[in-house]
Amino acid sequence: MSGPRVRIAPSPTGYFHVGTARTALFNWLFAHQSEGTFILRIEDTDVERNRDEWRDGIISALNWLGLNFDEGPFYQSELLSDHVAAAEALFANGYLYACECTREQIDERIKGHAKPGYDGYCRDRNVARSELTALRFRVPDEGTTVVHDVIRGEVTFAHDSYEDFIVVKSNGNVLYPLANAVDDRSMTITHIIRGEDLLPTTPKQVLMWEALNHCLGVETVALPRYAHLPMLVNEQRKKLSKRKDPVAVESYRDQGFLPEAFVNYLALLGWSPRGDEEIVPRATLVEQFRLEDVSHSPAFFDVKKLSHMNGEYIRALSLEAFIEAATPWVAPWSSDWRPSDREAPWTREQFDPALFNHVAHLVQERVATLGEIPAMVSFFFLDEVPFDDEAFAKTIANDTGKRVLGLAFDDFATVDWNAAALHESTLRLGETLGLALRKSQAPIRCAVTGTSVGPPLFESMELLGREAVLERLRGALVRADA
Ligand code: GLU
């Protein structure tokens, strides 16, 4: 393939972040619309902070979102010898120099200096390399590095605002900016699309990339184009915080967001489709997305809007697809994947798949996430009605409530058993007590379902059957008098 080559390069130091998912999507869209190649490189060199489950989480999150990669996963930890070789070449050509200063010595020297950072003390001292020396990059004293950014235009960085930064630590570890540039170079990445937080390291990488082109001579590799994506912010317009904001893609999967809805929502974080409609299928995203149209203003990650969109996607599913999508939450034992933080409220024996298939359309209209389904239908499967005490006190444990249930118990014993007749009967018994339908329905709903909200009552009672409903009305009356 001769199209662009893009990559994501996440570090497995935490759950797969929604920001990384957005970066992955924009790379994927860009690759897909231009016959490009999307590469996954896992930057797993920080052994203390990496965890296997986070590394695997990157791959499973990408699979879930349908952001398949064409090459990889490559593991940066397997490429260490390339990083060392690059550092040696830079050193041999004078781009790096050995520095023996300790942090304390530097701090002592720069006390009171107007310019913070390393003062270049070892630059021209020809310090011999040992296990106590780090290697620093000799940043030119003058001039600027201009980063050509597709989203931000030309961003100019003055060299005098950069210290001679460390590239190789005294323990031999090659640090992120070089390792990242070396791998991008050897993978001939043409476009680096990543979060704005990495913009300040970009001039360092440009300087090192050009230096590598110079020292590794023959194989000049063109600098990539950069595109730094806007930051994601929370409701307070603050950068999303790992601790305070729900940022783990996995938790959205656990809650029952649909991957297509999630992808659609992520696409709107910094970009907007041409028309007024925000619900845009993936193929249209691929067709319309333009990297140069991405905004540089922060993008609000709005969980409410995401939930709303998810509800729309849920309602757009066919009934079969909805039932299938609900399986991990309602019948986890029949599903390869199941949400990690919740269990179905019923056992395998209590659950009746045929009944669920019947009631599914009633809940499909009402949920924003698949995780909301079990609570909404548990009354169909649990032997004991799952009473919400507050709703019970309000609707049943009083004279009106008890009178409604008494009348309903008599009427429902003989009424035709279908939703329309049950509706009619509830309306009538309410009238005899001077109650509007809303009021006469409330105690019946609570007696049958345990709460005051849920799927349409009359259809639910029809499905539950006469005997079960009468039993529940009687049970609620006994409970009210207890
Ligand atoms: N591994 C780094 C990170 O996760 C680099 C990412 C990049 O260059 O795209 O922040």
List average pLDDT for each run of 10 residues in the chain, which is 482 residues long: 91 96 98 97 93 95 98 97 97 97 94 88 96 97 96 96 96 96 97 97 97 83 96 95 90 97 98 93 96 96 98 98 98 95 92 96 96 96 93 96 97 98 97 96 98 94 96 97 88
The rounded distance, in Å, linking the Cα atoms of 355 and 374 is: 13
The strand ranges marked E within 198-255 are: 225-229, 232-233
Q: Which pLDDT score is estimated for 243? A: 84
Q: Is residue 155 part of a domain?
A: no
The token pair that represents 437 in the structure block: 């339908």
Which of 336, 365, 381 finishes a domain?
A: 381
> Which residue in 115, 169, 238, 242 is the catalytic one?
242
Domain shared by 374 and 396, yes or no: no
- Residue 242 falls in the annotated catalytic set: yes
DSSP secondary structure of 347-415: -TTT--HHHHHHHHHHHHTT-SSGGGHHHHHHHHH-SS----HHHHHHHTSSHHHHHHHHHHHHHHHHS
- Please count the structural domains in the chain: 2
Domain shared by 358 and 393, yes or no: no
User: Are the beta carbons of 3 and 37 closer than 8 angstroms?
Assistant: yes
Which of 344, 359, 381 finishes a domain?
A: 381
CB-based pocket (< 6 A), ligand 1: 9-11, 43, 180, 194, 198
Q: Which pLDDT score is estimated for 218? A: 62
Which of 381, 403, 421 finishes a domain?
A: 381
Domain shared by 377 and 331, yes or no: yes
Amino acid identity, position 216: L
Q: Which pLDDT score is estimated for 220? A: 83
User: Are the beta carbons of 232 and 23 closer than 8 angstroms?
Assistant: no
Domain shared by 366 and 414, yes or no: no
Mutate to test the pocket of ligand 1, among 8, 11, 54, 69 (most ligand atoms within 8 A of CB): 11
Pairing of strands 191-195, 134-137: unpaired
Q: Which helix (H) or strand (E) holds 40?
A: strand 37-42
Instruction: Compute the distance from residue 181 Cα to the ligand 1 centre, in Å.
Output: 10
Q: Which pLDDT score is estimated for 473? A: 98
Q: Which of 145, 139, 144 is nearest to 120 (CA)?
A: 139
Closest atom, ligand 1, to C-alpha of 43: 1
Instruction: Compute the distance from residue 63 Cα to the ligand 1 centre, in Å.
Output: 20
Q: Is residue 29 part of a domain?
A: no
Domain shared by 362 and 408, yes or no: no
| Enclosing domain of residue 351 | 317-381
Q: Is residue 165 part of a domain?
A: no
Q: Which pLDDT score is estimated for 96? A: 98
